[in-house]
């Protein structure tokens, strides 16, 4: 006599549980991503002469430049300070994302 299988054409229980778990993880990742995107990250360059603020969504929301950092004869230094501050703030976003997700996304 042949053995009868409990499988009756549906999704096996272990596969269904695995899919539910994957969906829960995906929802948690999405929620964490949305929370990260709402956070602000601020960095400074040139001893605080230039400050940049970005969101977790990597959008620049603020650039502050101290008056003493503005020298019409040395625009290149100011440009470098702005880039350094923005890049540092973006690096903070990357670090927060890595800590939150650990390379999952």
- Closest by CA position to 96, among listed 51, 53, 32: 32
**Distance (Å, rounded) from C-alpha 96 to C-alpha 38?**
12
Domains and CATH numbers, the chain: 14-101 (3.30.1310.10)
pTM of the complete model: 0.75
> How many C-beta atoms lie closer than 10 Å to residue 29's C-beta?
14
For the chain, the average pLDDT equals 89
d(CA 32, CA 1): 54
Looking at residue 88, what is its pLDDT? 98
Each residue of 47-87: pLDDT tens digit?
A: 999 999 999 999 999 999 999 999 999 999 999 999 999 99
Q: If you average pLDDT over residues 12-24, what whole number do you get?
A: 87
């Amino acid at each position: 006599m042949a053995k009868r299988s409990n499988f009756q054409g549906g999704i096996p229980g272990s596969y269904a549980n695995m899919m539910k778990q994957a969906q829960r993880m995906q929802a948690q990742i999405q929620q964490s991503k949305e929370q990260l995107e709402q956070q602000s990250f601020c960095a400074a360059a040139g001893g605080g002469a230039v400050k940049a603020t970005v969101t977790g969504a990597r959008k620049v929301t603020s650039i502050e430049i101290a008056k003493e950092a503005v020298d019409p004869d040395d625009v290149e230094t100011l440009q470098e300070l702005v880039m350094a501050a923005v890049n540092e703030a973006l690096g903070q976003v990357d670090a927060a994302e890595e800590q939150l997700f650990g390379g999952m996304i």
